[in-house]
Amino acid sequence: MDSTEKRFNLRRQLDFSEPWSIFRVMADFVHGFDELKDVGPSVTVFGSARTTEESRYYKMARKLGYMMAEKRFNVITGGSYGIMEAANKGAYISGKAKSIGLNIELPFEQASNEYLDISLKFDYFFSRKVMLVKYSYAYIIFPGGFGTMDELFEALTLVQTKKIFPIGIFLVGVDYWKPMMEFIQKSMMSEGTISPEDFDLIRMTDDLDEVVRFTEEQIADRLAEMEELGLTDVSAYTRLKKFHEKEMAR
């Protein structure tokens, strides 16, 4: 890291501690809410920006993006390269739904990929992360690094504490995720730090058809649940009902 980059990064870290930085945080949220409020049912794909086009996971993410768009689900990613580019590319090629990238402003990296119908930039990781989960009905996590792990466990925590209402959390890449799932089951569950129903929040699979099929099937179940609870007046119900009826009519 050269002195220019070091100075830039340190200034941003110090600036965040200043009270006026709250206005940049507010701007992130207002921008995201305004641009995404009408996008309709979507799924979010997480994964490494370092995955190459030759990787089987890149190819799987591209195929999944295409499959989801064919079912009229918008595909949301972090907007960069690797797995994110692959999922956006699949959706973009389909053309039947929006390919959306929510990128982060960094000084020397994290450029947006070229397969985006909607491209937004955020100053802060945490505000961007809110947008990545807020408008999606399913979260699909491919192999990734620290950032992907952060996004996975953030989503799990929000579902566990009933702060969000997704249809499913999928881990694609059984070979990659199996050791982590074994740790969760053997260590976390056995120590009682999570409950069995928390473990059941995650579906691990390499079957992309299963991911698409389960997501579609769960929409009807969630609509019925909202109707039973008298939540037909909320905007989420209206959007999901309209989407479901349109799909049933096809």
Provide the pLDDT for residue 39.
87
What does the pLDDT profile of the chain (250 residues) look like in tens digits?
566 666 666 665 556 556 667 777 788 888 878 888 888 889 999 999 999 999 999 999 999 999 999 999 999 999 999 999 999 999 999 999 999 999 987 655 567 899 999 999 888 788 888 889 888 889 999 999 999 999 999 999 988 888 887 678 999 999 999 999 999 999 999 999 999 999 999 999 999 999 999 998 888 888 888 888 888 888 778 888 888 777 766 6
Provide the pLDDT for residue 82.
96
Provide the pLDDT for residue 23.
76
Over residues 56-98, the pLDDT tens digits come to: 999 999 999 999 999 999 999 999 999 999 999 999 999 999 9
Q: Is 197 exposed, middle or buried (0-12, 13-18, 19+ CB in 10 A)?
A: exposed
Q: Is 202 exposed, middle or buried (0-12, 13-18, 19+ CB in 10 A)?
A: buried
Give Cα separations from 180 to 3, 60, 69, 140, 231 (angstroms). 38, 21, 30, 16, 36
Three state DSSP letters for 47-99: CCCCCCCCCHHHHHHHHHHHHHHHCCCEEEECCCCCHHHHHHHHHHHHCCCCE
Extents of the domains making up the chain = 3-206
Provide the pLDDT for residue 226.
84
Give Cα separations from 192 to 88, 195, 199, 202, 207 (angstroms). 39, 6, 11, 17, 30
pTM for this structure?
0.87
CATH 3.40.50.450 corresponds to the domain 3-206: yes
